[in-house]
Structure 1
Amino acid sequence: MTKAARWGWVITLVTLTGVAGVLAFVLTIGTTSERGFFERHYHWLYWVNVAVAAVLTLVILTAAVQLVVRVRRGRFGSRLLLKLAGIFALVGVVPGVMIYAVSYQFVNRSIESWFDVRLASALEAGLNLGRGTLDAMVADLGAKTRDAADQLAGSTSSQLLTMERLRDKLGARTIAVVGGNGQILLESGGDTRQLTPDRPSAAMLRQARSGAVASQLEGLEDEAAALQGGAQIRALALLPNTALRLGLDERYLMVIQRVPGSMLSNALAVQAANNEYQQRALERVGLRRMYLGTLTLVLILAVFGALLLAVTLGNQLARPLLLLADGVRQVAQGDLSVRPVLGTRDELGGLTRSFADMTGQLADARAQVSRTVVELDAARTHLQTILDNLTAGVLVFDADGRLETVNPGATRILRLPLPAYLGRPLADVPGLADFAASLAQRFEQSVGGDGDLDSEPWQESFELQLDPKQHALALLVRGAPLPYGARLVVFDDISEVVSAQRSAAWSEVARRLAHEIKNPLTPIQLSAERLQHKLEAKLEGADQAMLVRSVATIVNQVQAMKQLVNEFRDYARLPSAQLKPLDLNALIQEVLSLYAEAQERGHLVAELAPRLPLVKGDASQLRQVIHNLVQNAMDAVQERADGRVVVRSSLSLTDTGAPRSVRLHVVDNGPGFAEKVLKRAFEPYVTTKTKGTGLGLAVVKKISDEHGTRIALRNLHPAPDAGSPPDDGTELPVIGAQVSLSFSNLVPATEPGAANAKT
């Protein structure tokens, strides 16, 4: 329990004790106080009430102000505490006000009922009745005493005996003869507690002397003594002087009669009630104020106790709720540290313990999630590293067919900016609409009756034409379903494999053709020459000429077939390249020396970049490559008077200025290649020549692959202005074709023998 709570309970106990004391005090003084108590103590009781009420009101106002300040400052839980305090205060104040209103009316009506007019009249009538009865008894005893005095004066018998008879007759307690000075002369009867009866007073003697008789009621001053027999009626009558003796003192007959006890008690009760009623009537205003003040004080005490209990119980109830609310707020902010709990055994304490357990479980779960996220990030990084280093292309699509993941291999193979289209369908990528439709159709075909649950991986080859000016890509595509409707596509560029397979197939075909065709060619040629040798001398004229022509035709065709067979043999039996450092410019000049006549006519031009680094290659095979390219270009422009072929070498540099590759370009201004031929120009037996075998570019491609050299073939379209220089720096109009080779296998300058290498 906090210090504030302890002080709150102490003040509450003190207040309740004070309320109990005040109520007990009020009840006590209301029943046992002497007359005039309220009148004497009203002022200090009033100010005590005012002081206590002021103190309690100040405490209540202080607590209310503190609560309002706490709410305005936005202290956490202040609004909940305000609501609880308001609820408890409302529960305590409203019934208190109602009880106060009822009690106020009750006190007013009760006090007014105490002083009802009929009650006052009844008390007055009873008092008058008692007084009349006593007065009648006093008067009757006085009259009887006067008669007894006359009888005593006229009696001839003994005076004492006469007095005894008179006492019995009157029922008096004492009869005595009293002198003029009040001295008892003769007595009959009397009070055993006194030796002699009380002497009459001088006033009574004077009254009896003047009126012949006097009577009075005595002993009512002390109610207790009166009730014990002290109340009596005294009568005094003048005795007549029958002896005619002058000079004798006056004598009086005194009769004392006891008042009956029942009558006396009733008379005293009526008199006491009347006196008390009159006293209360005088104190009526003060009594009302005192009762109402005490009632108001009790109300204030009750309200104060209710408010104090409201704050205390509100704190007790709000503490676990605030603890939970603060814990929820901190948990919402991500703080899952150990939560404090209450030691109480009630439901709220159990709730705080459950919340602390839940927070601990959340902290453990978050730690587990953090570890899982770290492991997942590591796995994702590992997977991304694998994807980034895969040569195959990887595409992942979500359930809606949008591109979700792309690896660099896919961008490299397709040569398209696929990462820019993440979150979009593959069909949005330029040139891939048909490919996307084919993939979707293939996935639909692989889905079983139950949807993705029966989907199986599939594999299929696709030919993708991204650019009409370039070769079509041969792709081997594998697809597989992923959870939640996602799809995985993995593809490889098998263009080189297909090309190699085709080259191998054509090599086998060439080998078989060379084997099958070469064997009969020599016998055919020998047979034709033998026929000419045997028959030429025996024939004359036209027959001899026809024989010579026929044999010449056979021999020429056989030589052509031999050349074709040799080309097939060379293509099929192309030896492995022996890579050595060589100077590409020197090799180009050596080959171009075979075309001296074309150079003199200006149909062949060499533009060689100086100081090229050495490349690694097989001189004999590269010589054949250059020869085939130059020969094909010369064949393409042979029908044009302005035909021209440019052989150019250049150096490509990196961003840092280091050599990257040495390039060889063979450019002509011939008719170029047809689109259908351009796509398959490097395949065997594909040619635009009427007499060509179609193996020239196939051999070039095969040798380039052996050297790890990239080769590209493209048509050069006309420029807007035919007279403007071409964009590659030559003087040729851009209307022909260009074959380019890029040698990246360079010889480092520090390698031994690089400076004096010879072709």
Structure 2
Amino acid sequence: MTHVLHPAEGGANEPSRIARWALWVGVAFLGAVGLVLLSLLILATGNRNLYEPYYTPLFFVNAIVALALLGVIGGIAWRLGARRRSKKFGSRLLVRLAAVFALAGVIPGMLIYVVSYQFVARSIESWFDVEVEGALEAGLHLGRATLDAWSAEWTAKVRASAVQVSAQPTTSDATAPLWMEHIRDALGADDLTLWAGNGRPIAAAGPLRYQLSPEPPPPEPLRIAATHGLATWVDGLEEPATATASTPVARIRVLVTVNVRQPGTLPGVRYLLATKTLPPTFVHNALSVTQAHREYQERALAREGLRRMYIGALTLSLFLAVLGSVLLAIMMGNRIVRPLLLLADGVRDVAAGDFSPRSMLHGKDELDGLTRSFADMTRQLADARHAVQQSMEQVRAAHASLQTILDNLTAGVIVLDESGTIQTLNPGANRILRTPHPIQPGTSLDDLLSLQGLAVCVRQRFEALRSPREEGETDHWEQSFELAMGHALAPGHDTVTLLLRGAELPGNQQLIVFDDISHVISAQRTKAWAEVARRLAHEIRNPLTPIQLSAERLERKLWADLDEGQRAILTKSVRTIVAQVEAMLRLVNEFRDYARLPAAELRPTNLNVLVTELLGLYAQEPSGVSVVAELDPACPLIDGDAQQLRQVLHNLVQNALDATASAGRADGAHPVVVKTQWLGSVQRVRLSVLDHGTGFADALLQRMFEPYVTTKEKGTGLGLAVVKKIADEHRARVEACNRYRDAELVGAQVSLLFTTGQTGPAA
């Protein structure tokens, strides 16, 4: 049997399939019940015992089953109409097939029904013909006349024998068996029995003489015999004849009175019962005629009911046949249309982008094979789309990974189209370029005033890259570029040194990767200055002492030979030489200290203690600027060199005092603040020195920790460079910024951030 299979068990179509199977099982059950009941109804029409008590219930049960089937067909027809109204694919074909199959079953059925109806109606009328009824009546009268003649003849013989017995003087109860055998032989009777008036058996002749208690005569014949001296009746003709039972035994019985004398008594009344068996053929014919006459009379009386019974059975047969043909039509139509409906639904779903597993039919015809082919095609499309989705997911994951990498790169990345418009950039690009507003994709480099020089440089390098290259030349370019941090390239503006790299991408796109190498250049410059300082300290220190000694010797030698005026000039000149030599020595010593700064010996150090000790040196500051401390007791110990950290604190505090005093705020109300702070979230200790000076110039913020960069008139520019070098030795980060309050500059701040693994406060 062809059936629908689903690729996945328990799928979405499982409930509908169960409902459909339940419907067809119910229809089959109702059809089977209807056929069984119709069979019983047909049997009842030929069997009177079934016809009389069970015909009406069977008829109504058949009618109920037929109505149930009619309801099922009505429901299916309504569903077909609903599909037709909703213009579902295949509804017209299904309705047309159902109508064709139904008409193919209904029209021949109706023709047969009309012919059968006429035949049944005319046949029933022919059963009750007048001649048939007369023949049955004549046969019945003939049988009764024959039976009456035999009964009269037999009664006369028995009565004559009884008269003869009563006339004999020797007749008595004791001799009854003798004379009864004589009478039995003379009459040819089957049995003779002699009964007393009270119903007691006295004697018997024939087979009954061997029975201890023979059957007594019925009370009614005994009463008639006592009254009239004679009673006759027939036994065995009351039972109806059947086709299976044997012919019953019928007997003619005669009961007569007999006068019997007893010795010494008057004659007493006895009853002689004689039995004669009728011929079996006569009995059978008589019973058959009687039974036929009785049934004829009964059916003649129920002629109209019999006609309705047969017509009803015929009508139910037609109705069940029509219902069966309609159901068969719908089933066949559905069987033909179902593959087309599956294909139509599948095509619609696939067109909508649904490639879920398709239902298929596992039959052997071409349409079922087409559904399987369509299901295989859909599965292949689903696999292909899944592979594409996986590829897209991998592409998206790769893109997300690439974007994450770009977002976390310290270098800047910009992708331009061939017209110079920015397509993509990472946060590092905005961080390095430091434009007034973040750069957005879709912006051209030429539209950014601060990046116009960069745009010209990039355009020139890509034009050169597109020109014919000789063998061995690279397919990318690299160049350093000085970018001014401002709106114009003007002297005094801070600049950033960028290392640019460029390459062409598919689609005429241009890739620019750049990094801020200012700190690298600064480190190189610091290293170079250290080397210069070392050489200057070596080359300049040696001649300074002889120069000072020679000047002092000249003063002593020439002092006696000069007058007062010349002596004054000589003294002033020598002092000038000595002072400049001492200044040169101090500068050389600073060079030496910067170049020969010893390696830090890191030990657990308490910054709060160092700050407290240092502030004791500035208790009586002659500049009038006070120094205060704000110490965080939660600060843990750090790994540091106490001597170098004291030098750092001294340099920073001295610079802060000089900046505050030069700003004219040496009034005691604007102290220099030395502050420690424990940053638990990042596990760092911050040491900050805050002043109330004029702050740092923007041009110096990027280079202030390089050697010989200073704002002081007499400064060497090595103080903060030493701080930076000591901070590097302690793996600390140095930060410098201006402080503002209500958008007004109030001073500067220099901070060092020390890393520590401890979380508790210092002991």
User: TM-score normalized by structure 1?
Assistant: 0.50
**Candidates 360, 363, 367, aligned match of 2:382:** 363
Unpaired segments ≥5 residues, structure 1: 8-58, 93-306, 721-733
Q: Which residue of 2 aligns with 1:649?
A: 675
1:499–1:518: structure 2 CA closer, same or farther, 3 Å change rule?
same
- Find 2:628's aligned residue among 587, 606, 624: 606
The farther-off stretch of 576-585 and 459-468 is: 459-468
- Residues 628, 700 of structure 1: 8 Å contact kept: yes
Aligned residue pairs total 470
Offset, 1:435? 8.9
Is residue 628–residue 696 contact of structure 1 (8 Å, CA) maintained in 2? Answer: yes
Cα separation, 1, equivalents of 2:486 and 2:636: 33
Match of residue 89 from structure 2 = 80
Alpha-carbon spacing, 1:329–1:576, altered in 2? closer, same or farther (3 Å): farther
Pick aligned residue for 1:533 from 551, 556, 563: 556
Query: Compared with structure 1, are the counterparts of its residues 702 and 674 closer, same or farther at alpha carbon in structure 2 (3 Å cutoff)?
Result: same
Task: After TM superposition, give the deviation of residue 649 of structure 1 in Å.
Answer: 0.7
Distance, in Å, in 2 between the alignment partners of 1:490 and 1:79 is 62
- 2:80 is aligned with what amino acid? R
- Superposed, which structure 2 residues align to 1:240-251 within 5 Å? none
Contact 1:714–1:738, Cα closer than 8 Å, also in 2 = yes
Q: Are 1:572 and 2:595 an aligned pair?
A: yes
Local SS of the residue matching 1:676: coil
Offset, 1:666: 2.9
Shift of 1:557: 0.9
- Superposed CA offset, 1:354-403 (max 9, x none): 53442232233244345545655665566566556655455567899555
- Cross-structure match for 1:582: 605
Which of 731, 734, 743 is the aligned partner of 1:708?
731
Instruction: State the partner residue of 1:98.
Output: none
Which one of 360, 371, 375 corresponds to residue 340 of structure 1?
A: 360
Q: 1:387 and 1:718, CA in 2 relative to 1: closer, same or farther beyond 3 A?
A: closer
Conserved in 2, the CA contact under 8 Å of 1:85 and 1:314?
Answer: yes
> What amino acid is the match of 2:466?
G
Q: State the match for 1:738 in structure 2.
A: 748
Alignment root-mean-square deviation, CA: 5.4
**Secondary structure of the equivalent of 1:700?**
helix
Q: Distance in 1 between matches of 2:479 and 2:446?
A: 23
> For 1:555 and 1:462, how far apart are their aligned partners in 2?
47
* TM-score normalised by the chain length of structure 2: 0.50
1:448 is the counterpart of 2:483: no
Deviating more after overlay: 502-511 vs 337-346: 337-346
- 1:665 maps to which residue? 689
Partner of 1:626: 649
Amino acid at match of 2:756: L
- Establish whether residue 597 from structure 1 lines up as the match of residue 607 from structure 2: no
Cα pair 1:513 1:565 within 8 Å, conserved: yes
- Counterpart amino acid of residue 566 in structure 2: D
Superposition pairs of residues 292-307 of structure 1, within 5 angstroms: none
Q: What secondary structure does 2:755 align onto?
A: coil
Distance apart, 1:339 and its partner CA = 5.5
- Corresponding residue for residue 195 of structure 1: none
What's the % identity of the aligned pairs? Answer: 47
Tell me the amino acid that sits aligned with residue 608 of structure 1. E
Counterpart Cα distance in 2 of 1:677 and 1:421: 25
SS of corresponding position for 2:600: coil
Q: Deviations over 1:230-276 (max 9, x none)?
A: xxxxxxxxxxxxxxxxxxxxxxxxxxxxxxxxxxxxxxxxxxxxxxx
Aligned match of 2:518 in 495, 499, 509? 495
Shift of 1:560: 0.9
8 Å contact kept, 2:84–2:92: no
Deviations 1:128-184 (A, max 9, x none): xxxxxxxxxxxxxxxxxxxxxxxxxxxxxxxxxxxxxxxxxxxxxxxxxxxxxxxxx
TM-superposed deviation, 1:610: 4.5
Instruction: Pick closer, same or farther for the CA change 1:476–1:86 going to 2, 3 Å.
Output: same
Aligned counterpart for 2:718 among listed residues 695, 698, 701: 695
Aligned match for 1:547, one of 553, 558, 570: 570
Measured after TM superposition, the shift of residue 503 of structure 1 is 0.7
Aligned to 1:106: none
8 Å contact from structure 1 (residues 510, 572) kept in 2: yes
What is the letter of the counterpart of residue 324 of structure 1? Answer: L
What is aligned with 1:512?
A: 535
- In the alignment, the residues of structure 1 paired with residue 439 and residue 696 of structure 2 have an alpha-carbon distance, to the nearest angstrom, of 35
Give yes or no for the alignment of 1:459 onto 2:478. yes
- Residue 545 of structure 2 aligns with which residue? 522
Q: Structure 2 vs 1, CA of residues 66 and 736 (structure 1 numbering), >3 Å: closer, same or farther?
A: closer
Between structure 1 and structure 2, the one with the greater Rg is 1
Match of 2:528, as an amino acid?
A
**Which amino acid in structure 2 is aligned with residue 547 of structure 1?**
L
The alpha-carbon deviation at position 646 of structure 1 amounts to 0.6
Return the letter of the residue paired with 1:647.
V
Residue 341 of structure 2, aligned match among 314, 322, 330? 322
Alpha-carbon distance in structure 1 between the residues aligned to 2:593 and 2:363: 98
> Relative to structure 1, is the Cα distance of residues 588 and 383 closer, same or farther in structure 2, using a 3 angstrom cutoff?
same
- Say which is worse superposed, 742-751 or 308-317, in terms of deviation: 308-317
- Give the match for residue 561 of structure 1: 584
Listed one character per residue, the Cα deviations across residues 501-551 of structure 1 (whole Å, up to 9, x for unaligned) are 111122222223223322322222222122122222222321222222212
- Of 53, 58, 69 in structure 1, the residue corresponding to residue 79 of structure 2 is 69
- Structure 1 residue 84 displacement after superposition: 4.2
Letter in 2 for 1:448: R
Equivalent residues in 2 for 1:32-51 (5 A)? none
